[in-house]
Amino acid sequence: MMAGAGALAAAVAAGAVWALKPVPKHYPPTPYDDLLARLDDRDWAAKFGAAAQKALPDYRPQAAASRLHGLMGNGTLRTAALRDAGAGRVVEVNGWLVPESAALMAALAKSVEPRAVPGKV
């Protein structure tokens, strides 16, 4: 019974550590850090951003950042995405209708994703 309680305590502690995320990820500096800092999961956004870039006509990072500043102001991505959806500003990405601000943010995250260097681990 004590072993079970110990295992339960260890699982609870591990869950608490994961939930608190005590060690934040660090990324190389970019010209768009003021926007990218508003992402909860930049890595996931970059993965989705590959598809978003293809769906955005004439995508350019600087233009996307400028548009995002206009859509978001000092607010959150969530607020901007809700406004976009309400106003019908959506982009079709792989068959999904995505708020414009979410698609632009994901595409921007992909644009600055660190590139793997051949021969390096």
Tens digits of residue pLDDT in 69-79? 999 999 999 99
Answer yes or no: is 90 within a domain.
yes
Answer yes or no: is 4 within a domain.
no
Domain extent, residue 52, equals 33-111
Answer yes or no: is 46 within a domain.
yes
Answer yes or no: is 51 within a domain.
yes
Answer yes or no: is 106 within a domain.
yes
| Tally of structural domains, the chain | 1
Structure tokens at 55: 């769906």
- Is the per-residue pLDDT at 36 higher than 70? yes
Answer yes or no: is 9 within a domain.
no
Q: What mean pLDDT, rounded, does the chain reach?
A: 83
**For the chain, percent of residues with pLDDT exceeding 70:** 74
Short-list 115, 116, 113, 104, CA closest to 62: 104
Answer yes or no: is 44 within a domain.
yes
Specify the pTM. 0.75
Short-list 112, 88, 121, 116, CA closest to 27: 112
